[in-house]
Structure formats: C-alpha cells, structure tokens
Structure 1
Amino acid sequence: MNSADTVQDRIDELEAAEDRAAALLERTLLLAGRQAGRRLAPRLAGRTLRLAVAHQRSRTARPRTHRRHQLPGKGRTLIDKIQGFYGFTRMPFGRDMAPGMLHRHSSHAQAAARITWCIGERSLGVITGEVGAGKTVAIRAALDALDHPRHTVIYLPNPAVGVAGIHHAIVTALGGVPKPHRSTLIPQAADALATEHAERGRVPVLIIDEAHLLDHEQLEAVRMLTNHDMDSTSPLACLLIGQPTLRRKIKLGMLAALDQRIAIRYNMPPMTSEETPSHLAHHLALVGRSDTLFSDDAITLIHDTSRGYPRAVNNLAVQSLLSAYADNKSIVDEASARAAVAEVTAE
C-alpha cells in the first residue's frame, strides 16, 4: 500500500470515529431527555438537533476522496498525474484498442492471414498459442477486415456449455428460438446455418474461444456441423482458438475424422527480441510519445521475463512505468523494470 492510501485510510478512520461519537451523543441526549421529563426534553431535543445539523454541515463542507481513485487533497487521479508527467494522451498498453490500432508483429499477421483465408473458404481452422500470445487479438483484427453484411459472426467465449450449449448459441445468434430437446435442437442448428448461407447470402462464422476445454463429444459435434450436402461443402466457417493442448487433443486417434477436416492450423509464437521494442514503441506512439521512454536495458529485461508474449510485455511495461513514476524518473530504466519483474514474479 502506498503513502497516499495510508493517509486516506487514516482520514477514513477518523471520520468513522467522528460519526460514531456523534451518534452516541445523540442517543445519550435523547435518553436524558426522556428521564428528565417533559420540561427538559424540548431543550435537550433542540440541542441535539443543533449538534446534528452542525455535524452534518461540517461533513458536507469537507469533501471526501476515494482512496482507490483520487489522492487526498488533490483533484487529480493517479492516472491523470502519470499522463501529465509523461505527456500521454491516455494510458498506454491497454486492451481497449480499435483493431486498426493493434501492433501487427509477425505471428499476428500470420494468424490473421490464415483466419481470413479460412473464413473465405468456409473451412475449419485451428489457431493455438500460449496464454497471452495474442490469439483473440488476431481474431479481432481478421474480423474487422470482413465484409460485415455478408458474414454473421457467432462467438462462443466459454465452451463449457456442453454440446447442447453450442447448438443453442448457434440458433440464438441466427435469430431462432432453440428447441428444448437435444434431438430436435441439433438439426435445428444445422438448418439455421444452411438457411443463413443459402437464403440470406451470409456466411456464418463460428468462433469457439478456449477450445482446448472442449471435450471429445463437443469436438465431434463441431465436425458434424461442417458436414453438409453429402460432405461436398460446408455452410459455415469454423475457428477453434485455444492453447497448444488443443492440437494434441485433436491428434488423438478417436478424432481422426476431425483432424482430417482441418484446413488450416497455426501455432502463434511469441515476439522476437526485435519485435518487442517495436511493440512498445507502437503503443507509446498511440498515446503521444514517439521519443525514447524505455531504456534498452529495460526493454531487454521486459522481453526476457515475458518471453515475448504480448500480454506479459504489456503488463510488465505498465508495472515498470508505475515504478519509474514513483521514483520521479523521466525514463523507465533497468531498475524500474527490475522492480516490476520482482512484483510480477513474486509468489
């Protein structure tokens, strides 16, 4: 906890104690009024009212601050101060970025290209990568480039819904009312996909994130969705996005039929030591800093610790930035990055 939080905690404790004391005084005066009789009660009640009003006015006149968002005695948040100190237009390394603002390193471009091809060919694709490799970011970039009136995206972020849950999501996304029984829900989903493509002229794009959590039955159900018109075509494009264990699961003998249907597969590697500095510079340029802010030694330490995975790079960059700001440094040096690494890797 920093010094600002400690001071604010003490202020909150004092104000809470003041509230308790005022409440106790009010109860005592009222009790005394009842015991003294009717002649004394009005005067005590009037005094109690005056004390309560005065206390409330003093509390109203003294603005309270929130420890998590605003430093005591100041009208600016910590984020505002950091932005002013480093000349940012907003905080860098955030996730709320438009697809066109994303950093396109090599693995990102490779994944986006394969996703685009898979959608265009209405094929089954598998994109894998370690946690934080940028799989979902690549999906966002590829989807942003689509002709949206000609595609209907069905995104399933959590596959832990069973086979019926997958079909339920498909029917709902295509505007239908899912039937209650599995025996009728499965053909309903297949018909909805075929209708969307044949009659409405839109290609359904089914994206299942965290697909390494799919069980064998669900994977087999996905395969059956791609089987259409005596296996001559597919009514949809399907992308399975997950961790590398998904590739190993698909290679099991019982899923050989699914394995043979996969048209594209790509495992996203991390950024190289040359791409990490470019990644940091890109994010800083987006917030108004095109000059050097991170020293070379700091960048090297961030890359080595994160192993080049974008999410870990961003997290360490933010922690390093906060450490440098706390030490009143205009440059994020190796010492700031080392402090960030110690915080992130501490058990």
Structure 2
Amino acid sequence: MNATDKIKNFFGLAKMPFSKAIGVNELFQGSSFKEACSRLEIALENEDIALLTGDVGSGKSNVLRFFTHSLDPQAYKTVYIPADNFKIGEIAKRALAGLNVEIPYQATAAIRKLKQSIISLNHDKGIKPVMVIDEAQQLPVTTLISLKNILNYSMDSENLLFMILCAQKSISETLVFSSLESLKRRIRVNYSLHGLSLEETSLYITHQLKICDLERNIFTDETKAGVFHHSKGIISTINAVCFDLIIYAAAHSKDIIEPSMLEVVLQNKL
C-alpha cells in the first residue's frame, strides 16, 4: 500500500481531495463563479469579446472549464490558447491548430486563413468558434491592438467569433494605454473573480470531502475559519493548506483537524 492509499484508508476517502484532478461537474460553484459564468453566457449571446480577470489561484481556469464544457458542441467549437509574448500571427496559427486547419508559414497568410475558416464554420456548418486566450496579460500591446483583425467581419456587423481574454488583474494597467482604447471600448463584458467568503470557504471544504465520498466533517469550524483568514478565500491556497492538513492529520493518526494543527502546517510552509 502506497502513502496516498494509507491516507485515503485512514479517512475513508475514495480519492484525495483538494486536488486539481477534479471533474467539471464536481467543481464548487461559489457566488463569484456563478456570476462569471452568467456574464460569459450573456457575452456569448451578444458580444464578440469578453474579459475575465482575477488573482492567481482565484478559480479563473475552473470558470473557463465549466463554461466551455457547457457549450453545445453542435453550435460551438472551443479553441484554447495559453498566451505568451505572442504576435498576432502566432495567435492565428495556434487558433488554426485548434480548429484542425493546415497552418500557413507566413503570419499574414495565417490570419487570412483563420478568418476564412471562421466564416466557413459559421456559414457552412452553423458553428461559432470560441477562442479562449489564457494569461492574456502576457500579450504585447501590439498584439492586443491587432486582435481586431480577427474579430471584425462584414465591416464589424457580424459576431462570427467569440473571444474570451482571461488574465490576471494586472492587465488593467495595460488597457489604460490610449492605443488600446478601441479594444477597451469593445470589451463591454468585463468581470473580475473574487475569493470565497468565510461561509463559502467552509462549504468548499465540505464539498471537497463529499466528492471524495467522505460525508463526515473532519475539519472543525475553527479550523475552517483559520484556513479562510490565511487564504483570503483564494481557492488554490485553500487547496494547498487543506491538502497539507490531511497529510499531517493522517501521519499523526488524528481523525479531526484542529486549529493547532493548522498552526503547525502554516509554520512549516514558511
């Protein structure tokens, strides 16, 4: 029996909680999560671009996973692009790869072929591409300016592509540049995820245990409150602390996780 199995057996877990290996339908839906998804749905129906921002670990990727998973594959085709210091030609080439279209060598040809492919998908198959550009704060200003080149159709009278820019909050410092005024005006749906509340943090911890087939609560209310105050409701931090707590508790044969154990775990993280 390996170390992980020993921990699962000790608590009666079907799998390890607080892991990123979680099914889309098992994601915890806090108030900010729900509002983000709702705004993306509105943007999909009415706009050609939306901006989703949030702190590192706030759950942006979870929102994107849930939203894109909920789309009708007969009506939408999702293309996911993790951004870097890309020029617009590289964005076009990666989008073509996501659409399973042959990629031209030259950037201008790639942009032209991408637009043609998007038009064809819409008019011939009734499918609108949904392009997710993650970590969009990494894109150069020149690339952000050039996004209009792949969003503009029929003299900007048709929404044939829906683009989601997902970024850290620092992108707001870039969007103040006058050269990006046109893009900023185009983004009418803009939502910033916030951390879980104290109540939501408690529910989240319980939810994580429940999807691992553990119905009883092994975290005391005081411990949950301590996790919230340390994490400020940021999901990735909650996961990291609670994961360590479960390991610590199992190693010391403690079936209830007390605040004193949280203090020890947090000290070891320093």
TM-score by length of 2: 0.96
How far apart are 1:112 and its partner, in Å?
A: 1.2
Equivalent AA in structure 1 for residue 184 of structure 2? D
**1:113/1:142 contact within 8 Å kept:** no
Post-superposition shift, 1:289?
Answer: 1.6
CA RMSD of aligned residues (A): 1.3
The separation in 2 between residues aligned to 1:340 and 1:190, in whole angstroms, is 52
Counterpart of 1:247?
Answer: 172
Amino acid in structure 2 at the alignment position of 1:214: L
Name the aligned partner's letter for residue 88 of structure 1: L
Pairs within 5 Å for 1:7-22? none
Which residue does the alignment assign to 1:212? 137
For residues 143-186 of structure 1, give each alpha carbon's deviation from its aligned partner in whole angstroms, at most 9, with x where no partner exists: 12111121111100233332221010122222321211223222
Partner residue, 1:173: 98
C-alpha offsets along residues 75-131 of structure 1, whole Å, 9 cap, x if unaligned?
Answer: x11111111111111111111111111100011111111122222335210000000
Conserved? CA contact 1:159–1:209, under 8 Å: no
Answer yes or no: is 1:104 the counterpart of 2:35: no
Pick closer, same or farther for the CA change 1:343–1:223 going to 2, 3 Å: farther
Instruction: Name the residue aligned to 1:301.
Output: 226
Which of 244, 255, 270 is 1:330 aligned to?
255
From 207, 210, 223, the equivalent of 1:282 is 207
- The residue aligned with 1:154 is 79
Residue 185 (1) aligns with residue 110 (2): yes
Does the CA-based 8 Å contact 2:86-2:143 persist in structure 1?
no
CA distance in 1 between counterparts of 2:116 and 2:141 reads 23
Aligned positions of 1:94-133 closer than 5 A: 94-133=19-58
Percent identity of the aligned residues? 23
Find the partner of 1:311 among 236, 244, 265: 236
The C-alpha deviation readout for 1:209-250, integer Å capped at 9, x for no partner, is 001111111111222211110111221000000100112312
CA contact (8 A) 1:112 1:142 kept: yes
Listed one character per residue, the Cα deviations across residues 49-87 of structure 1 (whole Å, up to 9, x for unaligned) are xxxxxxxxxxxxxxxxxxxxxxxxxxx111111111111
Shift of 1:311: 1.0
1:225 to 143, 150, 166: 150
Larger RCO, structures 1/2 (Cα 8 Å, 6+ apart): 2
Larger radius of gyration: 1
1 CA distance for matches of 2:104 and 2:192?
37
Which shifted more, 222-231 or 78-87? 222-231
Unmatched 5+ residue regions in structure 2?
A: none
Q: Which AA in structure 1 matches 2:52?
A: I
| Cα separation, 1, equivalents of 2:229 and 2:28 | 19
Is 1:198 the counterpart of 2:123 in the alignment?
yes
Supply the distance in 1 between the matched residues of 2:22 and 2:78 (Cα, whole angstroms): 20
Q: 2:256 aligns to what SS in structure 1?
A: coil
Letter in 1 for 2:180: L
Given that 1:159 and 1:166 are in contact with CA atoms closer than 8 Å, whether structure 2 keeps it comes out as no
Q: CA deviation at 1:192?
A: 1.4
Instruction: Find the residue that maps to 2:171 and give its secondary structure.
Output: helix
